[in-house]
Amino acid sequence: MSAENLVVLLKKILILHQNLLKLSEQKTDILKKGDIDALNEQMKEEQKYILAIRQLENERITIVDKMLGPRVQEKTLTKCIEVASEPVRSELAGLHEELVKVTHDLKTVNELNQQLTHQSLQYVNMSLDLLLPQEQNAGYGNPAGTKEKKQTRSMFDSKA
């Protein structure tokens, strides 16, 4: 029974990862356009998927613990495939391959998005440097950087 529950759960996780991949691909287009408001909305939507994946992942851990038992140290999907009976075994292997592919694609798209974000930040910093140049003193000055106080004398040097 645990193996069937694992298959159902992995299908849900796969669907969430596929939807997250679609969102990441949309984020690439948003980053290219530079639409900050759409980017904020996109990130909020991604957070919902990440939270759902995290909850399902916790459920997966408990199912795998029950399926493999306390004696098995490495609680991986490969070990679950080895333990499962044949009709479920092939389905688990297929889900494993699909999850690996989707997570690899997701990693690639996220790396591209990270590079686009970094380039955008570099452009913004360069633009700010052009608009707000740093003042540099071209003349001679006090090397310590402190200004000397000039004593001003009044026009009349008198004591009252």
Which pair of structure tokens corresponds to residue 56?
């399902």
pLDDT more than 70, % of the chain: 82
Cα–chain center distance at 98 = 22
- pLDDT at residue 19 is higher than 90: yes
**Domain count of the fold of the chain:** 1
Domain of residue 51, CATH code: 1.20.58
Q: Which domain holds residue 70?
A: 2-131
Q: Which residue has the higher pLDDT, 48 or 71?
A: 48
Query: What is the average per-residue pLDDT within 22-26?
Result: 95
Q: Could you tell me if residue 146 is inside a domain?
A: no
Enter the pTM of the model.
0.75
Q: Residue 98: how many CB atoms within 10 A of its CB?
A: 15
Q: Could you tell me if residue 145 is inside a domain?
A: no
